Chains A and B, each alone.
Chain A
């Protein structure tokens, strides 16, 4: 338990960062297309 909780928190933080970067990239792509 003492290992799994921080491990899952770490995975959660990474997932949030990864999704944020994906969303940001999609937004940038949209702006590049439409100006």
Chain B
């Protein structure tokens, strides 16, 4: 990745941190608006999770198309990074829940769905570790990554909107708080989303290169 992207992500995160702490909270007119500052980190991390699982599926499809094991490694790396971001989204959501709703865990549909998503991808890694033959592992993982992404669409975007819950956007919530984001919130949220995407891409490309080095070394040793 070119240095300009690394400098951009550095500046963007500094802007987001300063904006999140010093500017007005993203949601006004709610009880305890200060708590909502975590929104600048929690939501982009959750969206990057979705992006990562999409990339895992893309690489899975590429593997099924041309049977090159390199795509299987890339798919697994994207899924691994996605799972780290998914865990971060769960943790930040839990901290938010403690201060907004009084408890770290409320079994809100969105909280439950993110745990289901985490379990789906933990099962993906369990599947990978259970199959020894590389090509069989790659084929099974590729199919699973497609099913996993479908479950991500369902658990992130559909399920929480079908069942009543505490999150904005759930049935019965007419506040439209996310849609009516203030200008101040927008100028922090959009750079935050961009910064997390660039950070993810940087980490992903780096992990692909490290994986390639490890494979080269393994080939030299055998």
Interfacial residues, chain A to chain B (CB-CB below 8 A): 3-4, 6-7, 10-11, 14, 18, 21-22, 24-25, 28, 31-32, 35
Chain B residues near A10 (CB-CB < 8 A): 17, 21
A interface, over-half SS: helix
Complex: A21 Cα to B202 Cα, angstroms = 9
Interfacial residues, chain B to chain A (CB-CB below 8 A): 1, 6, 9-10, 13-14, 17-18, 21-22, 202-203, 206, 209-210, 213, 216
Complex: A31 Cα to B216 Cα, angstroms = 11
Of A4, A11, A21, A32, the contact of B14 (CB 8 Å cutoff): A11
Whether B209 contacts A18 by the Cβ 8 Å rule is no
Residue of B nearest to A28 (CB): B209
B interface, over-half SS: helix
Complex: A25 Cα to B3 Cα, angstroms = 11
How far apart are A29's CB and chain B's nearest CB, in angstroms?
A: 9
How far apart are B95's CB and chain A's nearest CB, in angstroms?
A: 13
Query: Can you list 5 A-B pairs with a CB-CB distance of less than 8 A?
Result: A3-B21, A7-B18, A7-B22, A14-B17, A21-B6
Of B18, B203, B209, B213, the contact of A21 (CB 8 Å cutoff): B203
